[in-house]
Each structure stands twice: as C-alpha cells, then as structure tokens.
Chain A
Amino acid sequence: MNQKITLSELNELIKDALLDAFPSSVWVVAEISELKENRNGHCYLELVEKKEDEIIARSRATIWSYTYRMLKPYFETTTGQLFTQGIKIMVQVSVEFHSAFGLSLNIRDIDPVYTVGDMALQRKEIVSRLQAEGVFDMNRELELPLVPQKIAVISSATAAGYQDFMNQLESNEFGFRFYVKLFQATMQGLETVPSVIRALEKVYQYEDFFDAVVIIRGGGATADLSSFDNYELAFHITQFPLPVITGIGHEKDDTIIDLVAHTRLKTPTAVAEFLINGMERFYGRLTEMEHEIVTLAQNVIDTQQKKLERIAGNLNYSVSQFIHDKNRQLTKTGNEIRQNVKSFSYKKGYEFIQLKHDLSSVVTLKFTETKNELGQKQRIFKRVVGEVLLKEKAALAQVKNVVTSNAKQMLFREFEKIRYSRNAVRLLNPENVLKRGYTLTLKDGVIIKSVDKIDVKDEIETRFSDGKIKSKITKKDRNDN
C-alpha cells in the first residue's frame, strides 16, 4: 500500500529539504533576462544562464523594495551601468520555496565589481571583434573638414545635453555661424541602439551636405551607458562616411562608441567648445595669414628695394671706379705727354743750344773774318788817307806860302792906307771942326742935315765946341738951288 501525501505536504517537504541544503545564502552569477518593478517598489526578475546563446538555466528572483531602494543606486553608481535586463550580475541569494508560488531566489546583496569586470570583458570582446574585422579605426581615419560648420546632431530634443550644446554653439562670442540639424533618437534605455542607428541612417541620406555627426547625451539618468558599449552601434559608426564626434556624458571609461568615434569628448558642451575652438583656430589662421601676406609682401618689396639699392650702389661704384680709372689714365697720359714734351723740349733746347753754339761760332768766324777784312780795309784806308793827307799838306804848305807873301804885301798896303787916313781923320774931327766955328744941329738927339727935317716951332739943340743950346724954330727958309 502506497503512502500518500498531499501536494502541500510535499511542498513542505521540499521546502524543508531546501532549507537543509541551503541553510544560509549563496552567491550566484547570472544574467538578467527580464526585470519588472511593481508599484510597491518590489523588483521581479528572471535570471538565466546561457551557453552559446542557449539558455541552460532559468530562475525567478525577487528584490524586496526595502533592499531594492538601496541596492539599485549602489549598483548603478558603482558600475555606470543601468540595473536592467541583459547585464550579468553576481548576487547573494537565499533559495526560497513557496508552497503556492514555487521556487524563487530572494536577492539580498549584489557585487557590482563582477558586473564591471564582465562589462570590461564584453567591451574587450567587442573591441577585439571590431579590430579583427578591420573596422575599428575607420571613422577615426576620416578627415575632419577644415571647418566643421554643418553639423548633424543625433540626440533627444528634450535632453538637457542637447539644449546645452545648442546654447553654447549659438552664443559663441565670435559670431560664428553653424548649421545644425537635429536627428531625433532615444538616448537611454533599451531603445537606444536601434534608435541611434536609425538616426544615423537618416543622416546618411545627407552625407554630402554635412561636415560631421555629433552624438550627444546629457542630463537624465547618469548610469545608462551600456547601450553605447554595443557592437552593432559601434560597427555602424565605424562604417559611417562622416566623422562622428561623441559627447555622451560619461565620467569614467570610454564607451565603445567613444573608442570608435572620430573625436571623443566628455559632454555636449565640450563638443560645442571643440567646434567653436576649431573655427576660432581657423579664423585665427586667416588673421595670421593676413599679417603673413603683408609681412611677406613687405619682405619681398624690401628685398627688391635692397637689390635695387645694391645695383644702384654697384653702378655708382662702377661709375666712380670708371671715372677714377679714366682719371688715372688721363693723369698718366698727361704725365707721359708732359714727359714727352719735356724731353722733346729738352731735346729741342739742346738742338737749339747746339744750333746757337754753331751759329755763334759761325758768327764769331764771320765776325773775325769781317773784323779782319775791316782791319785790312782800315789799314788800306789809313794808308790812302795818309797819302792824301800828305798830298794835301804839301799843297797847303804851298798855299800858305802864297797866302803869307800876298798877305804881307796887302798888309803893307793897308798900313799905308791907315797912316794916310789918320791925318785925314785928325782934320775931320768934329771937335776940331766945331772949334773952327761950325755947329751941330740936333733934333731929339739926332743930327739934322736938312731943313726938311725940321718944322716951325720944333725945338732943336745946337752943339758948340764948348756947350750946347736949345732953341725954337720961328722961321724956315729953304734954299732954292
């Protein structure tokens, strides 16, 4: 006879057996396959274990609200990972069996370190896979345009991060103009990956228009980053033809999409700063070039000017050198001429002296000849003159004799005459005449020999031998013979 028990009796037996088997709690590693929170704050989960994507174990689990309230934030802040389905966890559980509800694991504690390690492992696997496929660096190898000005933004319109980004960009102090288009996507939770991939596909239609894609997220839940450690999304980004810039507000390690993105920045604001700074650098470069071209042009002009000055200087030097050379040549020629003239004139002078000497000797010779000739002539002349003189002297002596004898005769005759005349003169002397009674009549001291010389009333003087008288003519009678 078989012993029969009721189901409840059986369940009680199982419960007792389990209690014996698991007197205290145990640490279990599992993956969350489902997670639900009810309005009382209790959390109901389904834990699974997979082996090559096939579930080889499954169990229900519960976290009572008083535990869940502390456990969830602790987990999320420690791991940077939402406490949600799809993650692997290590939890401390007590195995519980309820007669009506069956087996369930009551989660009492969690070790986030396990999840962190697992995530890291997963990330490593994703990175390895992307690298193995040769796509890991593809987006980073794209060239960011010189000036990313047309930006496709993948974000949520309501996200604080998007607003921050837009404010930052639009209020830039340089007045730079950006052209931004928002492509809406869900940025947290399970929808993130497909939503962002859809947004990327939209942007792809305007590939030629945009310079870059910006994926930003900010504010809201700080923990949900596991979405960005996703192979599929990362692969899409590596294959995207435009550079992707991320700003997904991660404080800790980079997510996979940060690793594959062209440029990784921490926050949306940082992305805006990056774009503005890039443009500012470009603007600065433009300004530099303005100065550069002026300086360079100035340098060229200066160089040319110096070259000109040098040429002018050289020309000046050449000309003065030329003038100097010509001057020296002239001086030399002048000296030569002077030398030649001097030697010529010396030569001529010498010739002249020679000539003069010759001439003087000729003259002397001639002079001597002439002098001799003259001497000869003088002697001849003297002799002739002597002869003539002798002749004349003889003739003169003859004449003298003639003259002397003639003169003696003449003198005798004259002497006779004078002796005769002396008697006559003695007789004719007026005083003797006067003494004989004759008188002299004078008018005005002149002897009057005719009455014609005297008129009545003239005064006349009458001289006697012993005196004279004065008388006036009273009457005149002329002898008429």
Chain B
Amino acid sequence: MTTKKVSYNEAMAEIEEILDKIENEELDVDELAEKVKRVSILLKICKDKLQKTNEQVEQILKEMED
C-alpha cells in the first residue's frame, strides 16, 4: 500500500540526484544519454500518476467500510 506514496518521493529523489550529477559534471557523455532517458521515463511516470486513474487504488477505496 505504501509503494504509491513513496514512489513520487523516490522518483523525485532519483531525478534530482541525476540533475545534480549532470550539473556537477559527474557524468560522462555516454552515461548522460542513459540518465536523460531515465529522467524522462520517471517524469512520465509521475505525470501519468497525477492524471491517470489507477484502478488498483480505486478498488481499495471501494473495499473500505464506511
């Protein structure tokens, strides 16, 4: 149940770590392409999660007693 909650944080932490690395020029050009791709995937996951309905979460809500 907690995975969804932390994954925004995890995603952001990972993205920020990558951005920091790029900013501090800790990545070589080969790694760069890979990390940029990774960041774009994470960003996509986050945006999707904000806007697309997660059926599993819906189901949990329905199963709660009033």
> Chain B interface mostly helix, strand, loop or mixed?
helix
Chain B residue contacts of A296, Cβ below 8 A = 19, 22-23
The answer, among B5, B23, B36, B50, for a CB contact under 8 Å with A282, is B50
Is A174 interfacial (CB 8 A cutoff)?
yes
Residues of A within 8 A of B57 (CB): 150, 179
| A175 CA / B65 CA spacing, docked (Å) | 27
- Interface assignment of A385: CB less than 8 Å from any CB of chain B: no
Give the residue name and chain of the A residue nearest to B25 (CB): A300
Q: In the docked arrangement, what's the CA distance between A286 and B14, Å? A: 13
Give Cα A147 to B45, complex, Å: 14
- Give which listed residue, B4, B50, B54, B64, contacts A181 with CB less than 8 A: B64
Interface size class of B (residues with CB under 8 A): 35 or more
> Is the beta-carbon distance between B52 and A177 smaller than 8 angstroms?
yes
Known contacts A147-B8, A147-B50; A300 and B32 CB within 8 A of each other:
yes
* Nearest-CB residue, chain B, relative to A280: B50
- Interface residues in B32-66 by Cβ distance below 8 A to A read 32, 36, 39-40, 43, 46-47, 49-54, 57-58, 60-61, 64-66
**A374 vs chain B, min Cβ distance (A):** 100
Q: In chain B, what residue has the closest Cβ to A303?
A: B25
B-binding segment of A104-112, A161-169, A203-211, A348-356: A203-211
Residues of A within 8 A of B1 (CB): 208-209
Contacts of B53 in A (CB 8 A): 177
Q: Is the CB–CB distance between B43 and A290 below 8 Å?
A: yes
Please, which residue of chain B has its CB at the minimum distance from the CB of A297?
B36
Number of interface residues of A (CB under 8 A): 35
Interface pair B50/A176, CB less than 8 Å apart: yes
Tell me if A160 is interfacial: C-beta within 8 Å of chain B. Answer: no
Q: In the complex, are the beta carbons of B5 and A289 less than 8 A apart? A: no
A125 at the interface (CB under 8 A from B): no
For residue B45, which residue of chain A has the nearest CB? A286
Closest A-B pairs by Cβ, 3 of them = A296-B22, A208-B1, A146-B8
Identify the B interface with A (CB < 8 A).
Answer: 1-2, 4-5, 8-9, 12, 15, 18-19, 22-23, 25, 27, 29, 32, 36, 39-40, 43, 46-47, 49-54, 57-58, 60-61, 64-66
Interface residues of A in 184-212 (CB under 8 A from B): 184, 202, 206, 208-209, 211
Bound together, the chains give a CA A155 to CA B47 distance in angstroms of 30
CA distance A84 to B48 in the complex (A): 51
A-B contact pairs, 16 of them (CB 8 A): A174-B50, A174-B51, A177-B52, A179-B57, A208-B1, A208-B2, A209-B1, A289-B19, A289-B39, A292-B19, A293-B19, A293-B22, A297-B32, A300-B27, A301-B29, A303-B25
Query: Is A220 interfacial (CB 8 A cutoff)?
Result: no
| Chain A: CB-nearest residue to B66 | A184
A146-B12, A208-B5 are known contacts; what are 4 more A-B pairs with Cβ within 8 Å?
Answer: A182-B66, A208-B1, A289-B39, A293-B40
In the complex formed, the residue of A with least CB distance to B62 is A181
A146 with B9: CB separation less than 8 A: yes
List residues of chain A with CB within 8 A of the CB of B64: 181, 206
Q: Which residue of B lies closest to A202 (CB)?
A: B65
- Complex CA distance for A330 and B64, rounded to whole angstroms: 93
Shortest CB-to-CB span from A242 to chain B, Å, is 11
Q: Give the distance to chain A from B55, nearest Cβ to Cβ, in Å.
A: 11
Q: In whole Å, how far is A346's beta carbon from the nearest beta carbon of chain B?
A: 64
> Which of the residues B2, B22, B43 comes within 8 Å of A300, measured between beta carbons?
B22
Residues of chain B contacted by A145 (CB below 8 angstroms): 5, 8-9
Bound Cα distance from A277 to B23, whole angstroms: 28
A111 CA / B58 CA spacing, docked (Å): 52
Q: Is A283 an interface residue (CB 8 A)?
A: yes
A147: B residues at CB distance < 8 A: 8, 50
B-facing mask of A284-298, CB < 8 A → 1, else 0?
001001101110110
* Any B CB within 8 A of the CB of A78: no
Contact with B along A417-458 (1 / 0, CB 8 A): 000000000000000000000000000000000000000000
Interface residue from A177, A289, A292 paired with B51 (Cβ < 8 Å): A177
Judged by a CB distance under 8 angstroms, whether A304 is at the interface is: yes
The CA-CA distance from A179 to B61 in the complex, in Å, is 8
